A and B are shown apart, each in its own frame.
Chain A
Amino acid sequence: MSLIHIENLSKHFKVLNRREGLGGAVRDLFSGDYRTVEAVAGISFDIEAGEIVGYIGPNGAGKSTTIKMMTGILKPTGGVIQVNGLTPYENRIRQAQIMGVVFGQRTQLWWDLPVIESFKILKEIYKVDQKTFGDHMGMFNELVGLKALYSQQVRTLSLGQRMLCDITASFLHNPQVVFLDEPTIGLDISIKAKIRSVIQELNSKRQTTIILTTHDLGDVEALCKRIIIIDKGKILYDGDIKQVNALFGAYRTLKLQIDDFSESTLRELRKKFDGRFSGDHGITVAETEEFWTDVTIDQARTHLSDVLSAVMTNFPVYDVRIVEISMENVVKQIYDGALE
């Protein structure tokens, strides 16, 4: 039987429709004007022991809500959810013993205490024996040199150091499954790489099942064999990363800042590309934020350098950035049928 079994799971929230301004705030005091938000709208999947699964999607897709249902914090509105054969919501305390959780934007460590104190408290909370505790801390010390941080107050740690400590903490009681919710958010490249290698190491050494939520497609490419993509509470894709990888890999977005930008600039760009590249060239143009124009290129069909030179020679470009495809764009491509 699979470690995590989810079937037609849904979660609805009732949200108060808030009005604008001071007058609106006062009227809201007596308002009964609620709307229902479907954060998770009927999803199903199974996860086997030992897997690393990337659970990804744009902001507000329902990722964290799913995680909170798997950890037993939230009660599902409907459907079946089982972790290790038990319903998390009904067995929260028992289930917590076999789970580890990292919420990237919050810490589970005691903010005002030295790092080592937090580990000692968690050791008591999870009833970890002295030997296991020593082995675990020794292993982490080897992996990331944690010892140097022991006497530092948690609030004085850098974001990257804190994240390493948080990950250590979540593996302390040797859980069967660890949920990592945005573990690399706001971190620089080198610390991201370190965190990825630590996660990889732990998964292979201990066979810990890992469910990774992230915005960073780099994390997913580095760690996961399988990904589940969710948007608007529904699963868009569940399967091998290889198929989707082509999608991530092939697309690049050229971000352009063009002098004297106007509505017609977008039209001119499209016209220029249609003229220069024949047939189905796979280039899309869109204005994303003020003054910035995004040109997304499918490198399987058109070379980035050709597009770049076409732009540079014909438009007064003030600034250029080349970025890997964003989560939002991947989701858009899937909707447009890129995986079919």
Chain B
Amino acid sequence: MRRYLSLTRASFQEWMAYRLGFFFTIIGNIVYLGVAYYLWSSIYEHSTVIRGMTFNETFIYVALGSAIFILLKTYADWIISHEIREGIIAIHLTKPLDFQLYSLFSSLGGILMNLAAISIPTILVLTLVFKVQIAPGPGLFLFPLSLFFAVLISFCFDYFIGISAFYTESTWGISITKDVIITVFSGALLPLQFFPDTIQKVLLMLPFQAIYHTPLMMITRPDQGWDVFGPMLVVQAFWILALFLLTRLYYNQAIKVLRISGG
């Protein structure tokens, strides 16, 4: 385990090397929060509850959604396809490391950085500036766990796309498509409650909702009981297991067609 944790530390340190980029990310995120606040407060001007959600709940959902959106970007798809194209992958494959775990733990460094630079500032701004109240409840404590599960699921999607570069060499188009699908189907763009009932039912059966919808439900309605949150966590755990296994099988197939540039 230590060998993988050292990769996380290394990539965290590498992200730290580019400080300016992160200061701008923090500022950009705060501007976004302001825009979202005024947009949703004008939508809620004439009604207190839309589709069963109050302004407070919707704003937390949308604002945290963006903070989590960044947290869930593992960039594994971009990194792996870049490394395949440039032939750098050969170096990783000469190390006594499992490639899937190597990718995961390297990605975690960037995620920790985003946690420090974006997610935590967002929570501070929400509570201190916009005075958003989060009701206490079991959801509040389960939220970090559920978020961590969400990171693992998101990683599986990125890893899947990244591995596809073994076949396609470039994954630019597929990556963009994946981002759009996840943004829409996971409830990141719009809470799932806003979708028509039948579509909602279908979306809840797909893995995408376990990325955004699940952790966000815990933080927007933390006062609900274990009977609601328990099954949600089980569903997340199920998708983690299923997607980790599927991407492993995919890797075992894909590695066979690997071509490495330079000789």
Give B contacts to A, CB under 8 Å.
Answer: 2-3, 5-7, 9-10, 13-14, 17-18, 86-88, 90-91, 93-98, 255-256, 258-260, 262-263
How far, in whole Å, are A103 and B93 apart by their CA atoms in the complex? Answer: 12
**A62, A71, A106: the one within 8 Å of B93 (CB):** A71
Question: Is A64 engaged at the interface, CB distance under 8 Å to the other chain?
Answer: yes
Contact call B94/A74, Cβ cutoff below 8 A: no
How far, in whole Å, are A127 and B9 apart by their CA atoms in the complex? Answer: 16
Contact call B94/A106, Cβ cutoff below 8 A: no
Q: Separation in Å of the A35 CB from the closest CB of chain B? A: 14
Q: Which of B17, B18, B94, B96 has the most CB of A within 10 A?
A: B94
Residues in A neighbouring B90, C-beta threshold 8 A: 68, 73, 103, 106
Contact call B263/A63, Cβ cutoff below 8 A: yes
**B7, B10, B13, B260: the one within 8 Å of A74 (CB):** B260
Contact call B93/A72, Cβ cutoff below 8 A: yes
Question: Is A110 engaged at the interface, CB distance under 8 Å to the other chain?
Answer: yes
Contact call A121/B88, Cβ cutoff below 8 A: no
Contact call A60/B96, Cβ cutoff below 8 A: no
Q: Separation in Å of the A128 CB from the closest CB of chain B? A: 10
Q: Which of B5, B18, B263 has the most CB of A within 10 A?
A: B263
Question: Is A117 engaged at the interface, CB distance under 8 Å to the other chain?
Answer: yes
Question: Is A136 engaged at the interface, CB distance under 8 Å to the other chain?
Answer: no
**A63, A97, A111: the one within 8 Å of B96 (CB):** A97
Q: Separation in Å of the A84 CB from the closest CB of chain B? A: 14
Question: Is A126 engaged at the interface, CB distance under 8 Å to the other chain?
Answer: yes
Q: Separation in Å of the B67 CB from the closest CB of chain A? A: 25
Q: Separation in Å of the A190 CB from the closest CB of chain B? A: 27
How far, in whole Å, are A126 and B98 apart by their CA atoms in the complex? Answer: 13
- Not counting A68-B90, A68-B260, A113-B13, a sample of 10 additional A-B residue pairs whose C-beta atoms are within 8 angstroms of each other reads A72-B93, A73-B94, A96-B94, A96-B97, A101-B91, A101-B94, A103-B91, A106-B91, A108-B94, A112-B17
Contact with B along A66-103 (1 / 0, CB 8 A): 00100111110000000000000000111011010101
Question: Is A184 engaged at the interface, CB distance under 8 Å to the other chain?
Answer: no
Question: Is A125 engaged at the interface, CB distance under 8 Å to the other chain?
Answer: yes
Residues in B neighbouring A65, C-beta threshold 8 A: 263
Provide a sorted-by-A list of 14 A–B residue pairs whose CB atoms are within 8 angstroms.
A72-B93, A73-B90, A74-B260, A93-B98, A94-B96, A99-B94, A106-B91, A110-B10, A121-B6, A121-B9, A121-B10, A124-B3, A124-B5, A125-B96
Contact with B along A115-130 (1 / 0, CB 8 A): 0010011001111000
Question: Is A152 engaged at the interface, CB distance under 8 Å to the other chain?
Answer: no
Contact call B3/A127, Cβ cutoff below 8 A: yes
Residues in B neighbouring A64, C-beta threshold 8 A: 260, 262-263
Residues in B neighbouring A73, C-beta threshold 8 A: 90, 93-94, 258, 260
Residues in B neighbouring A92, C-beta threshold 8 A: 93
Question: Is A150 engaged at the interface, CB distance under 8 Å to the other chain?
Answer: no
Residues in A neighbouring B10, C-beta threshold 8 A: 110, 113, 117, 121
Q: Separation in Å of the B171 CB from the closest CB of chain A? A: 15
Contact call B3/A108, Cβ cutoff below 8 A: no
Residues in A neighbouring B262, C-beta threshold 8 A: 64, 103, 105
Contact call A125/B95, Cβ cutoff below 8 A: yes
Question: Is A13 engaged at the interface, CB distance under 8 Å to the other chain?
Answer: yes
Nearest CB in chain B to that of A93: its residue = B96
Contact call A108/B97, Cβ cutoff below 8 A: no
Nearest CB in chain A to that of B88: its residue = A106
How far, in whole Å, are A140 and B146 apart by their CA atoms in the complex? Answer: 47
Q: Separation in Å of the B105 CB from the closest CB of chain A? A: 11
Contact call B17/A113, Cβ cutoff below 8 A: yes
How far, in whole Å, are A181 and B87 apart by their CA atoms in the complex? Answer: 14
Residues in A neighbouring B259, C-beta threshold 8 A: 13
Contact call B91/A126, Cβ cutoff below 8 A: no
